[in-house]
Amino acid sequence: MQMTGAQIIIECLVEQGVDTVFGFPGGAVLPLYDALYQNQTRVRHILTSHEQGASHAADGYARSTGKVGVCIATSGPGATNLVTGIATAYMDSVPMVAITGNVTTQLLGKDSFQEVDITGITMPITKHNFIVKDVANLAKTLRKAFQIAQEGRPGPVLIDVPKDVTVHTADFVPEVPQKLVPRTERLSEQSMEVALALIKGAERPMCYVGGGVIRAKASEDLSQFLENIDSPACTSLMGCGAVNSYSPRFTGLVGMHGTKVSNMCVSSCDLLVVIGARFSDRVVSKASAFAKNAKIIHIDVDPAEIDKNIKTYCHVVGDLKVVLEELNKRIAKPMVHTTWMEQVAEYKKRYPLRVDSESERSKEILKALQAVLPPNFFIVTEVGQHQMWAAQFLKHVQPGHFLTSGGLGTMGYGTGAAIGAQVGNPESRVVNVAGDGSFRMNCNELATIARYHLPVVILLMNNHTLGMVRQWQTLFFDKHYSETTLDTDIDWVTLASAFGIKGMRIRKEDDPKPILQAALDLGKAVVIECEIPVDDKVYPMVAPGASIEDMLGVQEVGEY
């Protein structure tokens, strides 16, 4: 059947199971938006306030649903406005397809109005990108893009489509999407045998778990593996939810703002099994001292991560679910490490997670939020102190329900991502834990929340400063607070009202729990401004270049 390029894009989206896209129109994508207009019942379009918001919304949609997130932008500034969101998805391995318009093929390379080489710009931050100059190649390119975005280690793919390609016609033949098969071709029997021998010979095993476990839908297999080898487990920021926070085996985050318990376990273990995680500098800190008493097994779907930052003793490359299933099958008898688990329990008693700071207000607010949240909730964060507090103090019980920018650390991520999560999960409550510094970057997306009547709750922790930067200035720059004080008094409640959204306040003397409960009971969008002290800090903390067991702000009293 003959179709225009714009119609082919719609048909391919539907073919791939896409029912929602996020974007912002412009001249180069007008034919595509006309096709969207004619197919409103098949593909829902969410109009954001800014293309960056669309990219973050596609990201949040993908993380919270497990589907591919799709965003659309016009040429030039529309396309470049997607770049930060694409890079965010790339760093955190999020499946995304970004479709950009461009000038007509005959105008490419001539510095035409709103022309930019978006494929060149995004080459380092995409798994792959394409520019389609012939409408006959459009369908197969779109299908390939969705395959690449999802297979192996997920990530973003960009397709740049010149305007004339969207109006030219070609024959379109529908296809059934290829079912993704877990990549097991690299599963080495020798590596499996070495890994099993190390596991069976260990006396103090420890597992370090990352977001790869969530992407592979392997949390249940991981839980069984931890039982089989009798091991505690810590997570990276991206791994929050891969291990149930209520599990007695869970020791918390690891690394710069991890728990002292996790960092001590990594430093004390004789075998570190790293599953679906990379050795980020925020986890490792001083590389020569990381897991210094342990042999390291690295299990990952991406061979490029093996031995990239830390030299490992053994590695197994393959789909994490398949690898964990196979390891569980081969462990005939569950192991017992009584002495080691008793040592871990002692660490928990000795090093409780506390806020060694001016106050515990941030912890108090988040604990109150935890108490009133309904089942099946999603937590989204911006980037800063509030992000670390949310990771530390909230209980993460479901994989894929904690959405944050871990690798790129994108301030302004949360509001767009919350929109995507709410659109993808209309029956769930979505809470964006934000700081005043991050929130002002993309607060324009309140218009999107209002437009689509999305019941997103924004918990705005307001300390009138760029808190994480101020913390570093306090600790390492002699309290020179250069350009971190946000002394412009913004009335956030009034701002929310200007968008048609309910605004509420939690003052420093207020009990946060009833206010948070009242906000959730409204069943609609709310911005809740919470005053917190300017010098509340994120502790514990590993200073730059220090060993992860050498932490600031640790208290050795109380219960874990």
Cβ proximity of 251 and 348 under 8 Å: yes
- Contact predicate 69/61, CB 8 Å: yes
Phi and psi at 122, nearest 5°, equal -95, 5
82 closest CA partner among 144, 44, 38, 29: 29
Which pair of structure tokens corresponds to residue 490?
Answer: 């913004």
SS3 324: helix
Token duo for residue 430: 């979505």
- With tokens 């918390």, the residue in question is 252
At CA 520, angle to CA 433 and CA 252, rounded to 5? 40
How many degrees, rounded to 5, is the angle at CA 56 between CA 54 and CA 58?
70
Residues written for the chain: 560
Query: Active site includes 279?
Result: no
Is 377 an annotated catalytic residue? no
Q: Pick from 210, 212, 243: which is nearest to 226 by CA?
A: 243
Structural element, H or E, at residue 507: none
Tell me the helix, strand and coil percentages in the chain, rounded to 5: 40, 20, 40
**Alpha helices for 3-50 (secondary structure H):** 5-15, 30-38
Of 147, 49, 59, nearest to 96 by C-alpha is 59
3-state secondary structure of 255: coil
Give CA–CA dist 484/482, Å, rounded.
6
Domains of the chain in sequence order: 2-171 (3.40.50.970), 189-350 (3.40.50.1220), 361-541 (3.40.50.970)
Q: Which of 1, 38, 106, 113 is catalytic?
A: 113
d(CA 512, CA 504) in angstroms, rounded, equals 11
Burial of 105 (0-12, 13-18, 19+ CB in 10 A): middle
264 is catalytic: no
Query: Is 203 labeled as catalytic in the residue annotation?
Result: no
Distance separating alpha carbons of residues 327 and 192, to the nearest angstrom = 8
Element spanning 554, H or E: none
Q: Pull the structure tokens for residue 18.
A: 């896409």
Span between the terminal Cα atoms of the chain, in Å? 65
Which of 3, 388, 441, 468 is labelled catalytic? 468
How confident is the chain (560 residues) per 10-residue block, as mean pLDDT? 97 98 98 98 98 99 98 98 99 98 94 95 98 98 98 97 98 88 71 96 98 97 98 98 97 97 98 97 95 97 95 95 96 95 95 71 95 96 97 95 98 98 98 97 98 99 96 96 91 97 96 98 98 93 94 68
Identify whether 51 is a catalytic site residue.
yes
Which of 15, 67, 114, 341 is catalytic? The answer is: 114
The Cβ-side half-sphere exposure at 28, using a 13 Å CA radius, reads 27
Which residues, at least 6 apart from 133, have a Cβ–Cβ distance to it below 8 Å?
Answer: 105, 162, 165
Phi, psi of 466 (to 5 degrees): -85, 90
Cβ-contact 97, 68 below 8 angstroms: yes
**DSSP conformational letter for 178:** P
Predicted pLDDT of residue 473? 97
Tell me how far apart the alpha carbons of residues 462 and 379 are, in angstroms, rounded to a whole number.
Answer: 18
- pLDDT (0 to 100) of residue 178: 80
Q: What's the angle, vertex CA 422, arms to CA 418 and CA 423, rounded to 5? A: 120
How far out from the chain centre does Cα 510 lie?
A: 32
8-state DSSP, 307:
T
Q: What is the pLDDT of residue 359?
A: 74
Burial of 403 from C-beta contacts in 10 A (0-12 / 13-18 / 19+): buried
Which pLDDT value is given to residue 131? 98
Check: pTM over 0.85? Answer yes or no: yes
What's the Rg (C-alpha) of the chain?
A: 24
CA–chain centroid gap for 1, Å, is 40
Give the residue among 97, 100, 99 at the shortest CA–CA distance from 149: 97
Residue 184, pLDDT score: 54
Amino acid at 135: V
The per-residue pLDDT for 332 is 84
**Calpha distance 219→243 (Å, rounded):** 7
Q: With contact defined as beta carbons under 8 Å apart, do 362 and 355 qualify?
A: yes
The pLDDT value recorded for residue 558 is 46
Q: Which of 51, 115, 305, 531 is catalytic?
A: 51
3-state secondary structure at position 233: strand
